[in-house]
Amino acid sequence: MPVVPESILAPIRQEFLALLPYREVSHPLGCHRPRISDAVVFDRLVLALVSGMGYERVADTACSTTTIRRRRDEWIEAGVLGHLVLTVLRAYDRMVGLDLEDLAADGCITKAPSGGECAGKSPVDRGKRGLKRSQLTDGYGIPVVTVPAGANIRDHTLLPETLDEFAELTEHLDHAPQHPALSLDAGYDYQLVYTDLAEREITPRITKRGTKTPIQTDGRWVAERTISWMNNFGKLRRNTERRRLCTEFYLALATAIITVRSLIRRAWYTRRWDTRPTSPRIR
């Protein structure tokens, strides 16, 4: 049984393979070992993402650890996952519609026992190495931007970088929001945040420090739900990658899976297609 339902994994795999750059084989004799299929390696990387297992446990006789790492680095250098996420978000925006007028953001700290470029001393885990994700979602909870950093970085200091990436993303989508609203918790209640949002023409919905506000009142709960979705992936829950590019690779792959799953579930009620699941509850 696949770690991700085939109804979700199949379209992602198909689009991913279509985005791979053409590889010209120029061996003079043509007698080298045949190249392992990209689909096989892609499925191994999905298994590593979902289970959190190391490459040694994901590899087998059909695909070695070296092949997985080498192919991963090739795809990172080609920027394939960035194009995949953009394609998935465009498809969701065209069929369902991204709610970019009501945004939500929050930070999440997870473990990073191997250290690396995105690791820092965790303030909630006795100073052990941890990873922080700055998560920006649309009004439904679709992850549009995820920025990794050290666990010792404050949430509000990551917000400008997160919004900069969001501005770049909207340039490639079919529409850009006009004066969107952004829901944030009390960890963002600083004057620097208000000033930055005013310059970007974003309406702030920030919980005041020292006040108890239910998470359902200002739309922040969708970001919390998305963070929970992200933490369902073992590789994100306990990051063992040392390079930032590798961490961003798995974040992008998780974003694509979550978005396609939400697209299928929401389109299930309004559309029909040959491979449509029998129930909107995809497992």
> Could you report the per-residue pLDDT of 37-60, keeping only the tens digit for each?
999 999 999 999 999 999 999 998
What pLDDT shows up at residue 1? 45
Task: Report the amino acid identity of residue 67.
Answer: T
Q: Which of 63, 78, 85, 66 is nearest to 250 (CA)?
A: 85
Rounded percentage of the chain residues whose pLDDT exceeds 90: 72
Rounded percentage of the chain residues whose pLDDT exceeds 70: 95
Q: Which of 19, 25, 47, 24 is nearest to 257 (CA)?
A: 47
Question: Per-residue b/e over 78-103, b at no fewer than 16 CB within 10 Å?
Answer: eebbebbbbbbbebbbeebebbbebb
Stated pTM of the model: 0.93
Given a contact cutoff of 8 angstroms between Cβ atoms, the answer to whether 162 and 134 are in contact is yes
> Could you report the per-residue pLDDT of 136-148, keeping only the tens digit for each?
999 999 999 999 9
Choose the CATH number for 99-241 among 3.30.465.10, 3.40.50.1470, 3.30.590.20, 3.30.420.10: 3.30.420.10
Which residue bears the tokens 């394939």?
80
* H helix or E strand, kind and range, residue 33: none
The DSSP code for 238 is: B
> Could you report the per-residue pLDDT of 88-137, keeping only the tens digit for each?
999 999 999 999 999 999 999 999 999 999 999 999 999 999 999 999 99
